[in-house]
Amino acid sequence: MGTIKQNRANNIVTGGKIDATDGLNNNVPAANIANASLTNVTAYPPSAGTSVSQLASDPPSPTEGQMWYNTTTNTLKQYAQGAGSWATGGALNTPRQYSSGAGDSNSSALAIGGNNGSAIASVESYNGSAWTEVNDLNTARDNNMAAGTQTSAVAFAGKDVPDALVTLTETWNGTSWTEVADMNTAVRLSADAGSDSTNALCAGGITPANTGKNEIWNGTSWSEEADLNTARHQLGGNGTSTSALAIGGNTPTRVAQAESWNGTSWTETTDMNNDRAPSPASGADNTSILAIGGGGPPTQYANVEEWNGSAWTEVTDLNLARVANSASGTGASSLTYGGIAPSLSPPGRTGSTEEWTKGLSVQTITAS
């Protein structure tokens, strides 16, 4: 808020005397305080303006972001998001590979299309414990892409039952699918991102050759924007149409590359620790992404990596290694489902679902 300076002129009364009520008691006239500087302020933390709180023991019910110094253990601590874990969720009704996903948490998602021997139109909705079949796509497809939420999504491109590439786009209003404007280029196995049915991104893929093409959906039409730096397919992506990350893929060799989108251009950033293609991903924007499973012959990963905007960190593995799976959600609350699992007996498509939760915990802050 900055320094509040007292204007004594407001406390001078007739004859040049200081008002004993306000001036001598150091009260600041309301006229000297900008309303905007105090908007929404209800209370100040005890340590504001002095130092971090010093406590003999950790608080029993800290709030997210709270920091304190424990004088008994002589350690600086915080209450923040810590390590995450995977839990088994309800299985898909129709096992599938190469489907697309939409959703904003591990309790709210759509599994859209995919392959169960051939391209399917099936769509299922997840409520945090079970999948329910909802209205099908108008056109069956696999290798397709999607973006949005459980109630407002867009599905695009891929290949249909005759195995032909398509430019088809369909939007979801929570009840049914509607065909809308086609993409400019038929493509499959691209990176996708978007927050609802009115905005989406589709980058890279096969056209049938590797491409770096990037198209943006504005709710009405698709426009070609700046290409990826490296053309590739089977890459992953998530975020929004103005803040996204594209990861992994085949060039045709499998890569660990990551590129960040700022709404105007793609910038190469830090590579993942593992190359992977396909490369399923979930995340809210280009500063918070999970790379979940994936891989490629002869490797199918249980490995999961977390992106914090500058570096990749390996976090808790999936319970079931899989490839060609789908993912949706955020870096703190995510979901992965379907795919091909080599450890199954017999190996093959799975409807298995896993839920990622990154919980809050008390953490000791140490020098790096």
- Rounded Cα distance between 38 and 22, Å, is 20
Residue 29: the pLDDT is 56
Residue 188: the pLDDT is 98
Distances (CA, A) of 343 to 151, 315, 366: 34, 21, 40
Distances (CA, A) of 285 to 197, 269, 313: 17, 14, 17
Planar angle of CA 315, 229, 295, nearest 5 degrees: 35
Question: Cα-flanking dihedrals φ and ψ of residue 68, to 5°?
Answer: -155, 165
Within 8 A by CB and 6+ apart from 331, the residues are: 282, 283, 284, 288, 289, 290, 306, 307, 358
The Cβ of residue 121 has, within 10 Å, a number of other Cβ atoms equal to: 17
pLDDT along the chain (368 residues), means of 10: 52 56 53 49 46 86 85 87 90 98 97 97 98 98 98 98 96 98 98 98 97 98 98 97 98 96 98 95 96 84 95 96 96 96 87 92 77
Residue 11: the pLDDT is 55
Residue 74: the pLDDT is 87
- Rg of the Cα trace of the chain? 26
Residue 68: the pLDDT is 87
Residue 15: the pLDDT is 59
Q: Which amino acid is at 110?
A: L
Global pTM reads 0.81
Residue ranges and CATH numbers for the domains of the chain are 1-42 (no CATH), 85-358 (2.120.10.80)
Side by side, the strands of the sheet bearing 266-269 are 236-239, 244-247, 258-261, 266-269
Question: Cα-flanking dihedrals φ and ψ of residue 150, to 5°?
Answer: -65, -25
Within 8 A by CB and 6+ apart from 356, the residues are: 84, 85, 86, 106, 282, 290, 292, 304, 329, 333, 334, 335, 336
Cβ atoms of 216 and 201 closer than 8 Å: yes
- The residue written with tokens 């489907």 in the block is 99
- Rounded Cα distance between 182 and 197, Å, is 14
Residue 52: the pLDDT is 84
